[in-house]
Amino acid sequence: MSRILVVEDDGETAKEIIAELESTGFDVDCEATGSGGLARAETGAYDVITVDRMLPGLDGLTLVETIRRQGITTPVLVLSALGDVDERVRGLRAGGDDYLTKPFALLELRARVEALMRRSPEPRQTTLRVSNLELDLLARTVKRGCRSINLAPRELLLLEFLMRNAGQVVTRAMLFDMCAPGDGRRRTRPQSTAFSGRCVQASSASPPRTRIGSGLCPRQGPGIPLN
């Protein structure tokens, strides 16, 4: 079954979009914030993403630009009340594959989603490998060699982010923005350290380097992301 990610902060609009797409047989997930949508989009588990341009926090175009910089090629349909030619061009140049102006007919939205799915996509990335660590993006399971590692859902998101950024400096703020939007201020330092530490140790065959004033730098092993 094809999977669609809907990133829409208006509750009524989101319900209408979900109902229309599910009536066609699509499996639909929904996020109401840009950071939540980004975390889901980074899993690479979707066939099409619809993104509202005006989202709280991380706006829609920044979300699209971010996943494109990461090499994620999932087709994106941008939805916006900004319908001027210049605004549509901005949406497409940010990395959107199509642009639909609000208000729109649900039948047209469904047709545009179906058209995006008919394009010849590149094979979706379903597994991440760094050294002897393997993360199955669809089954959401982790193995180091032959040993399974049990992680909570948010820890899995954090581990995925670390693996995608192996060899790069990752700050505490970046970690919580990716995997627990809005929770960072409510966590005490010991809680957040334990939360991050379990995943950092799972993600690195060697202890991560700490760059003072910057953040963690998980070591890049010989493994590479595989499709």
Summarize pLDDT for 172-226 with one digit per residue, the tens.
767 666 554 444 444 444 444 454 455 555 544 454 555 545 455 555 554 433 3
Specify the long-range contacts of residues 203-210, CB closer than 8 Å, at least 24 apart: 203/130, 203/133, 203/159, 203/162, 203/163, 203/166, 204/162, 205/130, 205/131, 205/132, 205/133
Which CATH code for domain 127-217? Answer: 1.10.10.10
pTM: 0.57
Q: What are phi and psi of 39, to 5 degrees?
A: -60, -40
User: What is the rounded distance in angstroms from the CA atom of residue 172 to the CA atom of residue 189?
Assistant: 11
CATH second-level architecture of 3-118?
3-Layer(aba) Sandwich (3.40)
Is residue 64's pLDDT more than 70? yes
Which of 45, 90, 44, 95 lies closest to 66 in space, CA to CA?
A: 95
User: Could you tell me whether strands 48-52 and 3-7 are parallel, antiparallel, or unpaired per DSSP bridges?
Assistant: parallel
Domain ranges, ordered by start, for the chain: 3-118, 127-217
